[in-house]
Amino acid sequence: MTKLERIQKQKEKLKEMMVYEKALWADGKVYIAGVDEVGRGPLAGPVVTAAVILPPDFDVLGVDDSKKLTPKKREELYDQILDNALCVALGRVEPARIDEINILEATKEAMVMAINNLSTNPIAGEKIKPNHILIDALTLKNINIPQKGIIHGDAVSVSIAAASIIAKVTRDREMIKMAEIYPGYAFESNKGYGTKAHYEGLAAFGPTPIHRKTFL
């Protein structure tokens, strides 16, 4: 595939992934927030969520489900999304809270945090409240804003995909830092997931304060 063909394919992909957003924009919904999470499955570390509001003229190519992208590509897109989004916000729930309320409820709690943190437009300095929310797979009871849960939303909605990239890069960077604080578990490579090296670290050193006790 030539570079031109690759760019054309990415443009077509972006067009396909803006179908939900374009329908809502056409219905007068100005601010549409895509919401996604990262970190539901790991044995250690927080669950991190992101909420992203994109402008109708968003044209960053390559945005997709973060799991389909290389770390290098995610880092590139992370910067481009921050540069082009109207607003980006994060939410997170720590391991102790995950153990207390379970990972599904913790994920929902972190999503609500991210949505509630969508407060300021970094470009115009104005307050932003989403008119509609698009969420990967889930719906939230504690948000009084119209919403739609989309199965595999990070693969079909550009807003959700952008949120997945922001959340993934944010959490990965943190887990790399945690590898320096808690060496021996290979957090820099497994990001808290249950790899062989991670289990060997647990066997040798026991759990750390960032481990989820209910997952072990």
Does residue 120 have a pLDDT over 60? no
Whole-prediction pTM value?
0.95
Task: Provide the pLDDT confidence category of residue 122 given band limits of 50, 70 and 90.
Answer: low
Residue with the larger pLDDT of the pair 109 and 126 = 109
Average pLDDT over residues 148-173: 97
* DSSP H stretches of helix in 18-141: 19-26, 71-84, 95-101, 103-116
Helices (H) and strands (E) in the chain, counts: 9, 5
Does residue 104 have a pLDDT over 70? yes
What is d(CA 80, CA 61) in angstroms, rounded to the nearest whole number?
Answer: 10
Does residue 124 have a pLDDT over 80? no
Q: What percent of the chain has pLDDT over 70?
A: 96
For residues 135 and 148, the answer to whether their CB atoms sit within 8 Å is: yes
Does residue 146 have a pLDDT over 90? yes
The reported pLDDT for the residue numbered 115 is 94
User: Domains of the chain (ranges plus CATH)?
Assistant: 3-177 (3.30.420.10)
Q: Which two tokens stand for residue 42?
A: 């790991």
